[in-house]
Amino acid sequence: MSLQGRQLKVKYAYYQVADEIQRQILDGSLKPGERLPGEVELAEMFGVTRSTVREGLRQLENDGLVHRPSPRRLEVSLPQMETLTTRNSRAMAMMRVSFRHLWQVALATEPLAADLAALLITEEEKVELRDIHAELLDSVTDVDRTIELDTRFHSFIATAAKNPALMLAREPVALLLYRGFAQVAPVSEIALSRQAEAHTHITDAICAGDRDLARTWGRRHIEDFWKAINKAGLADAPAIKSAEGI
Amino acid sequence: MSLQGRQLKVKYAYYQVADEIQRQILDGSLKPGERLPGEVELAEMFGVTRSTVREGLRQLENDGLVHRPSPRRLEVSLPQMETLTTRNSRAMAMMRVSFRHLWQVALATEPLAADLAALLITEEEKVELRDIHAELLDSVTDVDRTIELDTRFHSFIATAAKNPALMLAREPVALLLYRGFAQVAPVSEIALSRQAEAHTHITDAICAGDRDLARTWGRRHIEDFWKAINKAGLADAPAIKSAEGI
DNA sequence: TCGCCATTAATGTCTGACAGTCGGACACAA
DNA sequence: TTGTGTCCGACTGTCAGACATTAATGGCGA
């Protein structure tokens, strides 16, 4: 009995097409920005129908490996952070991730982001960070706006940290966590003022280039958030009930 | 100049089909495991052709929102961790993420995973963890096997931490980082023994439920890895040259 | 009741077609 | 030179219809 029964995966034609093109993109034969042939030509090249090619292309488009600036142009592209973030957030929402889960991760990533931002932020970014912070202070009346700006504030700090891996890891978590503020805010009025205070400290520390302080306040800020969540009794509640709107 | 030039998004039929089904999944009307009608029926429902439906379904399949156990069954499903991880890793590889980037994130996530694992690991998992560790100790001769097991070791710890958000955040990073061991190992012979030692400590700490110790060794382990990377002069090298094989 | 088999139905793929519109080119006017 | 009007060709998005293969299902026999 020497016959190896390797499970062979049945590969559909459209899948093979996608796979082959993807291979050439990933190994560098096709570079981002490069233009791809039309569907008819691709169909001829692979010896399949246009319908089949289309189904394959859909997958690549969906993966963000190719992209159509206009229906008439098909080019290789780098996956966009936003696309990835959205998908990941959505997946977490469907998995019924709890505030506890999100918080645990945020407690690891957010101080790191603040730390690195303090190290690497540019002068232009300092200005923009202060702008966002100022706008945030003005938005106390509107919860939705506060959430949007809060998310943006932290996201911007992560951008300033200039680490794509960190971005990818934290964005989906942050998106869901800060959104939870809507459920927390009504329960704890002090949350708002404490949050504003923390934001100020974080902003100052980052702009001053004080990594330790930035990290410390980043941590404190997230810890505060946890207290509010706990007070609201939401620790083990799914961060999002239905995943709609992501 | 008061004319508002809002960029209007043209929505193609296949996109609308995908969007509509996705909406129903995300808002909970369609639950994971539920079976969907066939393509013909869907085409009738939406008033489009089967080809159009197919292109839409491809997107949902790709997102992991629907899934075909066999070509004949189409059902709603939860996105699989592995699918998400692969996509994210691939994206990072294409972004030319450096070892420094990966390491910074890992330094935040891996100790956390060890910490939580120490808190939440089950008896069965303890056995499996020890198994993996033992197997890892035996694999010193084969670098590829070592990498595979090392990745699995850390991944398993994250599993034991029972936090999907953490999994999603760390897996893609870990996949690329530990793979880099192949480039590091030849340069630093002591790396192997130190690594084995750290693994032992981590395993023991987790099984003993000592969170602090688990975290400490988790951290030390990653810091060691950094030293090796640095020694090899790879700190700012892209973790993967071409993204092939992901 | 349980297991096997044939029928049915749905998928994967193909052929062919058509309208809309985008890209590019060219000429002309400001 | 720069922008506008016009035209042609090319390619996409969508449609209609068709066929072979194969998996699900129900009926049959044990």
Question: Burial, B35: exposed, middle or buried (Cβ in 10 Å; 0-12, 13-18, 19+)?
Answer: exposed
CA distance B242 to B114: 31
Cβ neighbours of A12 (radius 10 Å): 13
Q: Which residues of A spanning 34-93 put their CB closer than 7 angstroms to strand C?
A: 47-52, 55, 69-73
CA distance B15 to A63: 15
| Predicted pLDDT of residue B45 | 93
With cut-offs at 50, 70 and 90, classify the pLDDT of residue A244: low
Q: Check: CB of residue B64 under 8 Å from CB of residue B83.
A: yes
CA distance A75 to A65: 9
| Predicted pLDDT of residue B139 | 84
Strand C closer than 7 Å to the CB of B45? no
> Mind telling me how many Å the CA of B147 is from chain A's nearest CA?
20
Q: Please indicate whether, in this complex, the C-beta atoms of B78 and A94 are within 8 angstroms of each other.
A: yes
**B94 Cβ under 8 Å from any chain A Cβ:** yes
3-state secondary structure of B226: helix
| Predicted pLDDT of residue B188 | 67
Q: Is B245 left (phi over 0), alpha (psi -120 to 50) or beta?
A: left
Task: Give the CA B19 to C1' C14 distance in Å.
Answer: 28
Instruction: Report the alpha-carbon angle B163-A160-A140, nearest 5.
Output: 75
Cβ neighbours of A178 (radius 10 Å): 22
More confident residue, A188 or B73: B73
- Domain boundaries in chain A? 13-76, 82-231
| Predicted pLDDT of residue B232 | 87
CA distance B180 to B174: 10
With cut-offs at 50, 70 and 90, classify the pLDDT of residue A15: very high
- Has residue A243 got a pLDDT over 90? no
- Close Cβ partners of B159 (under 8 Å, ≥ 6 residues apart): B125, B167
Least reliable range by pLDDT among A18-32, A200-214, B93-107: A18-32
Instruction: Report the alpha-carbon angle B93-B94-B100, nearest 5.
Output: 45
Q: Check: CB of residue A84 under 8 Å from CB of residue A64.
A: yes
What digits encode the pLDDT tens for the residues B107-138? 999 999 999 999 999 999 999 999 999 999 88
Alpha-carbon distances of A196 from A136, A146, A193, A212, B161, rounded to whole Å: 8, 11, 5, 20, 32
First to last CA, chain B: 50
Show the low-confidence residues of chain B (pLDDT under 50). none
Of all residues in chain B, what percent carry a pLDDT higher than 90? 74
CA distance B3 to A19: 45
More confident residue, A188 or A34: A34
Q: Tokens representing A194?
A: 């404490």
Torsion angle defined by CA atoms of residues B135, B220, A157 and A161, in that order, rounded to the nearest 10 degrees: -90
Q: Tokens representing B131?
A: 């198994």
Residues A88-99 have a mean pLDDT of 94
Query: Taking a contact as any Cβ pair under 8 Å apart, which residues of chain A between 21 and 50 contact chain B?
Result: 23, 26-28, 32
| Predicted pLDDT of residue A4 | 42
DSSP codes, B98-123: BHHHHHHHHHHHHHHHHHHHHHH--H
Torsion angle defined by CA atoms of residues B65, A104, A107 and B200, in that order, rounded to the nearest 10 degrees: -110
3-state secondary structure of A238: strand
| Predicted pLDDT of residue A8 | 45
| Predicted pLDDT of residue A140 | 78
| Predicted pLDDT of residue B2 | 62
CATH of A82-231, picked from 3.40.50.2300, 3.40.50.1470, 1.20.120.530, 3.40.640.10, is: 1.20.120.530
Q: Check: CB of residue A211 under 8 Å from CB of residue A166.
A: no
Which residue is closest to A85 within chain B, CA to CA?
B88
Which nucleotides of strand C lie within 7 A of protein CB?
9-17, 21-23
In chain A, which residues have their Cβ closer than 8 Å to the Cβ of B172? 165, 168-169
**In this structure, CATH architecture of domain A13-76:** Orthogonal Bundle (1.10)
3-state secondary structure of B66: strand
Q: Please indicate whether, in this complex, the C-beta atoms of B26 and A88 are within 8 angstroms of each other.
A: no
| β-strand partners of A66 | A76
* Residue A76 dihedral angles phi and psi, to the nearest 5°: -70, 140
| Predicted pLDDT of residue B212 | 97
Q: Check: CB of residue A222 under 8 Å from CB of residue A103.
A: yes
First to last CA, chain A: 53
CA distance B27 to B146: 43
In chain B, which residues have their Cβ closer than 8 Å to the Cβ of A86? none
Q: Please indicate whether, in this complex, the C-beta atoms of B109 and A104 are within 8 angstroms of each other.
A: no
Q: Is B162 left (phi over 0), alpha (psi -120 to 50) or beta?
A: left
**A92 Cβ under 8 Å from any chain B Cβ:** yes
Of all residues in chain A, what percent carry a pLDDT higher than 90? 70
CA distance A221 to A219: 5
Cβ neighbours of A16 (radius 10 Å): 14
Residues A150-172 have a mean pLDDT of 97
